[in-house]
Structure 1
Amino acid sequence: MPQEEQNKYAYYAAILTDKVGELFDEDHDDCLDKEELSENLTDFFHALSSVMPCHLYNRFLNEQTNHLEFNHIANRLCFQFSTKE
Protein backbone atom coordinates (compact mmCIF):
# COMPACT_ATOMS: atom_id res chain seq x y z
CA MET A 1 0.00 0.00 0.00
CA PRO A 2 1.43 3.42 -0.88
CA GLN A 3 2.71 5.31 2.16
CA GLU A 4 0.42 8.28 1.43
CA GLU A 5 -2.69 6.06 1.45
CA GLN A 6 -1.57 4.30 4.64
CA ASN A 7 -1.00 7.63 6.33
CA LYS A 8 -4.47 8.89 5.38
CA TYR A 9 -6.42 6.19 7.20
CA ALA A 10 -3.93 6.25 10.09
CA TYR A 11 -4.50 10.00 10.29
CA TYR A 12 -8.29 9.55 10.41
CA ALA A 13 -7.94 6.78 12.99
CA ALA A 14 -5.81 9.02 15.21
CA ILE A 15 -8.33 11.86 15.08
CA LEU A 16 -11.26 9.55 15.80
CA THR A 17 -9.39 7.84 18.65
CA ASP A 18 -8.64 11.22 20.23
CA LYS A 19 -12.27 12.33 19.96
CA VAL A 20 -13.62 9.11 21.46
CA GLY A 21 -10.95 9.40 24.16
CA GLU A 22 -12.40 12.77 25.14
CA LEU A 23 -15.54 10.92 26.23
CA PHE A 24 -13.47 9.48 29.08
CA ASP A 25 -11.85 12.80 30.07
CA GLU A 26 -13.53 14.07 33.22
CA ASP A 27 -12.72 17.67 32.20
CA HIS A 28 -15.17 17.45 29.28
CA ASP A 29 -18.89 18.14 29.64
CA ASP A 30 -19.80 15.00 27.68
CA CYS A 31 -17.71 12.70 29.87
CA LEU A 32 -19.15 9.19 30.19
CA ASP A 33 -19.61 7.76 33.66
CA LYS A 34 -16.97 5.01 33.79
CA GLU A 35 -18.83 2.96 36.37
CA GLU A 36 -22.06 3.04 34.36
CA LEU A 37 -20.11 2.32 31.18
CA SER A 38 -18.38 -0.71 32.72
CA GLU A 39 -21.83 -2.20 33.30
CA ASN A 40 -22.84 -1.58 29.67
CA LEU A 41 -19.72 -2.30 27.58
CA THR A 42 -21.66 -4.38 25.06
CA ASP A 43 -24.00 -1.45 24.41
CA PHE A 44 -21.07 0.98 24.18
CA PHE A 45 -19.12 -1.11 21.69
CA HIS A 46 -22.23 -1.82 19.62
CA ALA A 47 -22.89 1.93 19.44
CA LEU A 48 -19.24 2.68 18.62
CA SER A 49 -18.61 -0.07 16.08
CA SER A 50 -22.02 -0.58 14.46
CA VAL A 51 -24.59 2.13 15.12
CA MET A 52 -22.45 5.26 14.78
CA PRO A 53 -20.51 4.20 11.65
CA CYS A 54 -23.75 3.04 9.99
CA HIS A 55 -25.37 6.37 10.79
CA LEU A 56 -22.43 8.31 9.33
CA TYR A 57 -22.32 6.10 6.24
CA ASN A 58 -26.04 6.63 5.62
CA ARG A 59 -25.76 10.35 6.23
CA PHE A 60 -22.76 10.90 3.91
CA LEU A 61 -24.08 8.70 1.11
CA ASN A 62 -27.80 9.35 1.60
CA GLU A 63 -28.36 5.59 2.02
CA GLN A 64 -30.76 3.53 4.13
CA THR A 65 -28.36 0.77 5.18
CA ASN A 66 -29.16 -1.11 8.39
CA HIS A 67 -26.56 -2.15 10.97
CA LEU A 68 -26.11 -5.66 9.58
CA GLU A 69 -25.74 -4.40 6.02
CA PHE A 70 -23.18 -1.87 7.21
CA ASN A 71 -21.32 -4.65 9.00
CA HIS A 72 -20.94 -6.42 5.64
CA ILE A 73 -19.56 -3.20 4.15
CA ALA A 74 -17.11 -2.88 7.05
CA ASN A 75 -16.00 -6.50 6.57
CA ARG A 76 -15.32 -5.82 2.88
CA LEU A 77 -13.23 -2.79 3.90
CA CYS A 78 -11.24 -4.90 6.36
CA PHE A 79 -10.57 -7.43 3.60
CA GLN A 80 -9.75 -4.70 1.09
CA PHE A 81 -7.19 -3.09 3.37
CA SER A 82 -5.73 -6.40 4.56
CA THR A 83 -4.93 -7.53 1.00
CA LYS A 84 -3.07 -4.39 -0.06
CA GLU A 85 0.71 -4.50 -0.26
Structure 2
Amino acid sequence: MVEALFHWVVLLRDVPGTEVRSGDRAVIVDLLAAPSEDREAGYSIEVFRGGETVDVVSVPVSWVTVGAEVWGKVERSRFEG
Protein backbone atom coordinates (compact mmCIF):
# COMPACT_ATOMS: atom_id res chain seq x y z
CA MET A 1 0.00 0.00 0.00
CA VAL A 2 1.30 3.42 -0.94
CA GLU A 3 1.64 5.79 2.02
CA ALA A 4 -0.44 8.39 0.26
CA LEU A 5 -2.57 10.23 2.82
CA PHE A 6 -4.23 13.27 1.18
CA HIS A 7 -3.02 12.33 -2.31
CA TRP A 8 -5.43 12.67 -5.22
CA VAL A 9 -6.56 9.41 -6.83
CA VAL A 10 -8.67 8.36 -9.80
CA LEU A 11 -11.18 5.51 -9.44
CA LEU A 12 -10.59 2.56 -11.76
CA ARG A 13 -14.06 1.05 -11.28
CA ASP A 14 -17.56 1.85 -10.04
CA VAL A 15 -18.20 1.40 -6.31
CA PRO A 16 -21.32 -0.80 -5.96
CA GLY A 17 -24.24 0.71 -4.05
CA THR A 18 -22.96 4.29 -4.41
CA GLU A 19 -22.89 7.11 -6.95
CA VAL A 20 -19.09 6.73 -7.20
CA ARG A 21 -18.01 5.85 -10.73
CA SER A 22 -14.88 4.87 -12.60
CA GLY A 23 -12.98 8.03 -13.51
CA ASP A 24 -14.13 10.02 -10.47
CA ARG A 25 -11.44 11.95 -8.59
CA ALA A 26 -10.97 11.60 -4.85
CA VAL A 27 -8.60 12.37 -1.99
CA ILE A 28 -7.28 9.68 0.36
CA VAL A 29 -8.47 10.55 3.88
CA ASP A 30 -7.46 7.35 5.71
CA LEU A 31 -5.21 4.33 5.19
CA LEU A 32 -6.84 0.98 6.00
CA ALA A 33 -4.81 -2.09 6.94
CA ALA A 34 -5.67 -5.41 5.35
CA PRO A 35 -8.25 -7.15 7.57
CA SER A 36 -6.53 -10.50 7.02
CA GLU A 37 -3.66 -12.03 5.06
CA ASP A 38 -5.96 -13.01 2.21
CA ARG A 39 -7.63 -9.58 1.93
CA GLU A 40 -6.33 -6.35 0.42
CA ALA A 41 -5.47 -3.13 2.27
CA GLY A 42 -7.54 -0.10 1.36
CA TYR A 43 -8.19 3.61 1.47
CA SER A 44 -11.05 5.74 2.71
CA ILE A 45 -11.51 8.38 0.04
CA GLU A 46 -13.55 11.56 -0.33
CA VAL A 47 -14.93 11.65 -3.87
CA PHE A 48 -15.43 14.97 -5.69
CA ARG A 49 -17.28 16.09 -8.82
CA GLY A 50 -17.30 19.72 -9.87
CA GLY A 51 -15.59 20.70 -6.63
CA GLU A 52 -18.37 19.20 -4.50
CA THR A 53 -18.18 16.10 -2.29
CA VAL A 54 -20.15 13.20 -3.79
CA ASP A 55 -19.44 10.57 -1.12
CA VAL A 56 -16.86 9.17 1.29
CA VAL A 57 -16.22 5.47 0.68
CA SER A 58 -13.66 2.79 1.48
CA VAL A 59 -12.08 0.87 -1.40
CA PRO A 60 -9.27 -1.65 -1.92
CA VAL A 61 -5.98 -0.06 -3.03
CA SER A 62 -6.27 -1.79 -6.42
CA TRP A 63 -9.42 0.20 -7.23
CA VAL A 64 -7.55 3.52 -7.57
CA THR A 65 -4.55 5.09 -9.26
CA VAL A 66 -2.64 7.28 -6.80
CA GLY A 67 -1.33 10.55 -8.22
CA ALA A 68 1.66 12.59 -7.10
CA GLU A 69 -0.45 15.62 -6.18
CA VAL A 70 -1.36 16.18 -2.54
CA TRP A 71 -4.62 17.92 -1.62
CA GLY A 72 -3.97 21.55 -0.72
CA LYS A 73 -0.38 21.52 -2.04
CA VAL A 74 -1.08 22.33 -5.70
CA GLU A 75 -3.50 24.78 -7.24
CA ARG A 76 -4.59 22.54 -10.12
CA SER A 77 -4.41 18.76 -10.20
CA ARG A 78 -3.33 16.91 -13.34
CA PHE A 79 -6.55 14.92 -12.90
CA GLU A 80 -8.65 18.01 -13.57
CA GLY A 81 -9.57 18.02 -17.21
The TM-score normalised by the length of structure 2 is: 0.21
- Give the number of the structure whose residues are more often helix, by fraction: 1
Q: Which has the higher contact order (CA 8 A, sep 6+)?
A: 2
Larger radius of gyration: 1
Structure ranking higher in strand proportion: 2
Question: Scaled by the length of structure 1, what TM-score is found?
Answer: 0.20
